[in-house]
Structure 1
Amino acid sequence: MLDTTPLLDAADHFAAALRAAPQSRLQRGAAAEGLALARELALRAQRIETPEREPRTMPDAGVFVVADQVQVAGRDLAEALRKGSAAEVSAVTEAVSAIRAAERRAFP
């Protein structure tokens, strides 16, 4: 079974940082980075789970919800990777890299 712990840990860490950030920081771009990441992770999960269907875009639910969106999208991707037939360690590594890069951009 594919170990998705690094993906879950990275998503949880970024979500915690977003939750701890002041509103001004979220509005200056941290929330936008989080939303872009959540949308990317959700897109990856949907492509694994239902490749025949057009992916749906995660909505912008506001700066105070983005941490939850990151965490949920990370968990959805981890679950899709665990269940997917073509799941590879590289997919986890790529997702972790994407999360860490978004976190660095959100909190330089």
Structure 2
Amino acid sequence: MLDTTPLTDAVDRLSDRLRGAPQSRLQRGVAAEALALARELSVRAQRLEGAGGEGCQELRIMPDLGVFAVADQLAVAAGDLAEALRTAPSAVELDEAVGSVERVAATARL
């Protein structure tokens, strides 16, 4: 079984920082970056679960629920991806997801 702790730990740290960020900082693009990351992680999870392929269900895109919801959206998307990785392990997919989270965390400057 693939250990997804690096992904969930990185997302937990970023989500906590987003929850503590002032509204003005979130509105200056940090929330948009986090939402893009949440959408990316969500799509990765759906693809691992078989969505989006020919004859399969369509990929669902995470909606924009506002700057104050993005931390929770990110946590949910990461949880879904972690579960998908447990059942269809892909170390490459895990490494790419952790890298995406770390890049957003580095540029967010929270």
**C-alpha contact 1:33 1:105 (8 A) present in aligned 2:** no
1:75-90 paired onto structure 2 within 5 Å: 75-84=79-88, 87-90=89-92
Aligned residue number for residue 25 of structure 1: 25
Partner of 1:101: 103
Comparing 36-45 and 98-107, the one that deviates more: 98-107
RMSD: 1.1
Match of 2:40 in 1: 40
Note the C-alpha offset of 1:60.
Answer: 0.0
Q: Distance in 1 between matches of 2:101 and 2:19?
A: 15
Structure 2 unaligned spans of 5+: none
Unpaired segments of 5 or more residues in structure 1? Answer: none
Equivalent residue pairs, number: 106
1:103 counterpart SS class: helix
- Change in 2 beyond 3 A, CA 1:39/1:93: same
Give CA deviations for 1:27-85 in whole Å, capped at 9, x if unaligned.
0011001100000000000011133222110000000000000111011000001011x
Identity of aligned residues (%): 58
**Cα offset, 1:106, TM superposition:** 1.8
Deviating above 3 A after TM superposition, structure 1's stretches of 4 or more consecutive aligned residues are none
